[in-house]
Amino acid sequence: MYKPVTRIRITPDGSEDRSEVKAHIQSSVAFLPITADVEEADLLERKLPNGKTQTIRLTQVTHYEAPGAGQQLNHIEAKFVSARSR
C-alpha cells in the first residue's frame, strides 16, 4: 500500500531538506504512517508509471490516532495540490 516518496522541506535558510517517507497517494489525498515527518507546505515527489516525476504540495495535514483500537488505524491524512510534473 505505502510506497517510498521523497519529502522536500524548505528550511528557514532556503535550502532543501530531503528525506524518504512512505505514502499512498490518491487523486486529492495522501495517506502516510503516523510516524512520517510531514507538515503543511512540504512537497512530496514520486515517479509516475509513465516515467515522469509528480510533485505535490501538502495543504492540510491531519494526524489520526485511535487509542485502544490498535496501531494499524493510526495514520496521517494529507490533502494536497499539484506543485509540478516533469
Q: What is the CATH number of the domain that holds 9?
A: 2.40.10
Total domains in the chain come to: 1
Identify which of 19, 32, 39, 28 has the alpha carbon closest to the alpha carbon of residue 64: 32
Identify which of 84, 79, 82 has the alpha carbon closest to the alpha carbon of residue 30: 79
Domain region containing 61? 3-85
Identify which of 9, 7, 29, 37 has the alpha carbon closest to the alpha carbon of residue 20: 7
Q: What is the pLDDT of residue 1?
A: 81
- Compare 12 and 66 and report the one with higher pLDDT: 12
Span 48-64, pLDDT tens digits: 999 999 999 999 999 99
What percentage of the chain has pLDDT greater than the value 90?
A: 84
